[in-house]
């Protein structure tokens, strides 16, 4: 995520970080962002990111990325999130997840 934030800033864009307080206390936050919003917890973080977004783009990532992606897909199904969701399936990273989602649809 830091590489995306840094690239955005270097290109003259704005980068808004949303992070829960416990992560700030651990020093895991980016200190050079245009704006940093600190939330009480992870759930509020996800709500805040969704409210700020015009779309969700999922890059390859770990368990947290998968959890956030599945939650926003669920919110979309429920009509709680109306913006586009894009899965960047770089080098087939998300092939298994896409197959599982298709299986759930079927």
Please give the model's pTM, rounded to 2 decimal places. 0.89
> What local confidence, expressed as pLDDT, does residue 11 receive?
97
> What local confidence, expressed as pLDDT, does residue 1 receive?
85
Using only C-alpha atoms, the chain has a radius of gyration, in whole angstroms, of 15
Residues 6+ apart with CB under 8 A from 52: 16, 18
pLDDT tens by residue, the chain, 106 residues: 899 999 999 999 999 999 999 999 999 999 999 999 999 999 999 999 999 999 999 999 999 999 999 999 999 999 999 999 999 999 999 999 999 999 999 9
Task: Give the Cα-Cα-Cα angle 24, 27, 31 (nearest 5 degrees).
Answer: 80
């Amino acid at each position: 995520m830091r590489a995306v934030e840094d690239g955005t800033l270097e290109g003259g864009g704005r980068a808004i970080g949303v992070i829960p307080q416990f992560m700030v206390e651990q020093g895991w936050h980016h200190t050079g962002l245009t704006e940093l919003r600190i939330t009480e917890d992870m759930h509020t973080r996800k709500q805040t990111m969704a409210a700020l977004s015009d779309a969700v783009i999922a890059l390859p990532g770990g368990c947290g990325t998968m959890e956030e992606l599945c939650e926003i897909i669920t919110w979309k199904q429920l009509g709680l999130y109306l913006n586009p969701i894009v899965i960047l399936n770089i080098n087939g990273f998300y092939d298994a997840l896409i197959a599982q989602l298709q299986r759930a649809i079927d």
